[in-house]
C-alpha cells in the first residue's frame, strides 16, 4: 500500500521471479489511506477467487491498518508468506505446510552448502514472528541445539560465540562484530540495512575499498546485521546484498507452487467424496 520505495523494489523482484518461472501474478495496490475494513474486503475477495493460489501482504502496512487482522484474514491454504497462526502452529507441531520464506531459505542455504545442522549449536539473534521464531523451530526440527537471543539477552557476545551456526536477524546494522563469532562458525546474515551516512560507511568498510567506493559513487549502500569484518573469522558467511534475499524470493515461489498443489489435491478429494454421497442420504439431510 502507498508509495514505500523498499516495498516497490521487493514487489518488482517478486513479479519478475513469477514471470521467469511462468507463474501468473496479480499486483493489487490500494491507496495508502485505505482502512482496515476496506483492506479486509480486498483479502476476502482474493480468498474467494479460485484462480488465486497464493496471497501475500507486502509489509509494512500504513499505520492506520491493523496488520495482524489483515494477515490473519488470509486463507491459510493461500498464505504463501507462512504468517498465518494455523501455518505457524503446523510448524510448531513439526508438520510444516507453508513456512515463512526467509527461514526456509536459510535452511536451503545450509543444506546446499553442506553445513551440518544436526547436533550443531545454533544461535538465532532475533525473536520476530517473521524470522527469529520460525528460524529457531526449523533448526530445532533439524536436530540442532538452539539458543534464541534478543535485546535483553545478557552478555550477548559470549552467548553468540558458542554457536556453530549463527543467524543474525536483529535489524541493527553491523551489530555482530568479530568478537561475537568463534573461528570457523557459519554465519547467516538476514539483515538488510541501508547506509547513507558517510562516517558510518567509512567505519563499516574501512578494509573493503571496493564497497566504500561503491558507497561514494551512489551515496548509499546496504549492510547486514553482521559487520563485514566477520568474514575474516567465519568459516562460511552469506553476503549482503545477494545472500539470503534471493533465497527468500525463491522460497516464496516454492510456497506458491506447493499451495497450488495442495489446493488442487484437496479440491479434487472433496469433489470425489461429494460424488459418493448417496442421493437418499442427501435428500434426508
- For 85, phi then psi, to 5°, come to -55, -30
Active site residue 129: no
**pTM as predicted:** 0.88
Residue among 58, 72, 200, 258 flagged as catalytic: 58
C-alpha to C-alpha distances, 107 to 73, 98, 119, 224, nearest whole angstrom: 28, 14, 15, 18
User: For the chain, what are the domain ranges?
Assistant: 5-91+252-265, 100-243
Yes or no: say if 32 and 60 are a contact pair by the CB < 8 Å rule.
no
Tell me, yes or no, if 58 is annotated catalytic.
yes
- Is 64 one of the annotated active-site residues of the chain? no
Is 5-91+252-265's fold the same as 100-243's? yes
Q: Tell me which of 14, 75, 78, 164 is the catalytic residue.
A: 14
Catalytic entry in 53, 75, 81, 189: 81
Query: Which option is the CATH number for 5-91+252-265: 3.30.830.10, 3.40.50.10860, 3.40.50.300, 2.40.30.70?
Result: 3.40.50.10860
Average pLDDT per 10 consecutive residues for the chain, totaling 285 residues? 77 94 93 95 96 93 94 96 95 94 97 97 96 97 97 95 97 96 98 93 93 93 95 97 93 96 70 40 34
Q: What are the C-alpha distances in Å from 91 to residues 53, 66, 97, 104, 227?
A: 20, 24, 7, 11, 31
For 100-243, CATH number?
A: 3.40.50.720
Amino acid at each position: 500500500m502507498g508509495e514505500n520505495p523498499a516495498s516497490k523494489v521487493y514487489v518488482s523482484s517478486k513479479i519478475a521471479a513469477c514471470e521467469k518461472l511462468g507463474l501468473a501474478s496479480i499486483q493489487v495496490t490500494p491507496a495508502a489511506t485505505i482502512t482496515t475494513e476496506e483492506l479486509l474486503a480486498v483479502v476476502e475477495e482474493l480468498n474467494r477467487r479460485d484462480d488465486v493460489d497464493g496471497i501475500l501482504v507486502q509489509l509494512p502496512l500504513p499505520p492506520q491498518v491493523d496488520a495482524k487482522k489483515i494477515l490473519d484474514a488470509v486463507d491459510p491454504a493461500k498464505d504463501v508468506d507462512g504468517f498465518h497462526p494455523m501455518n505457524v502452529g503446523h510448524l510448531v507441531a513439526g508438520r510444516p505446510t507453508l513456512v515463512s520464506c526467509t527461514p526456509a531459505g536459510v535452511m536451503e542455504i545450509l543444506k546446499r552448502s553442506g553445513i551440518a545442522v544436526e547436533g550443531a549449536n545454533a544461535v538465532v539473534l532475533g525473536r520476530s514472528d517473521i524470522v527469529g521464531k520460525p528460524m529457531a523451530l526449523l533448526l530445532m526440527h533439524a536436530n540442532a541445539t538452539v539458543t534464541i537471543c534478543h535485546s535483553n539477552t545478557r552478555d550477548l557476545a559470549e552467548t553468540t560465540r558458542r554457536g556453530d551456526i549463527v543467524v543474525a536477524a536483529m535489524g541493527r546494522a553491523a551489530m555482530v562484530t568479530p568478537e561475537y563469532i568463534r573461528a570457523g562458525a557459519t554465519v547467516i546474515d538476514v539483515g538488510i540495512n541501508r547506509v547513507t551516512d558517510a562516517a558510518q560507511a567509512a567505519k563499516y568498510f574501512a578494509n573493503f575499498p571496493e564497497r566504500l567506493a561503491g558507497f561514494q559513487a551512489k551515496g548509499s549502500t546496504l549492510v547486514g546485521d553482521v559487520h563485514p569484518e566477520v568474514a575474516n573469522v567465519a568459516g562460511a558467511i552469506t553476503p549482503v546484498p545477494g545472500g539470503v534475499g534471493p533465497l527468500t524470493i525463491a522460497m516464496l515461489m516454492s510456497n506458491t507452487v506447493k499451495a497450488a498443489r495442495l489446493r488442487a489435491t484437496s479440491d479434487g478429494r472433496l469433489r470425489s467424496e461429494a460424488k459418493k454421497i448417496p442421493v437418499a442420504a442427501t435428500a434426508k439431510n
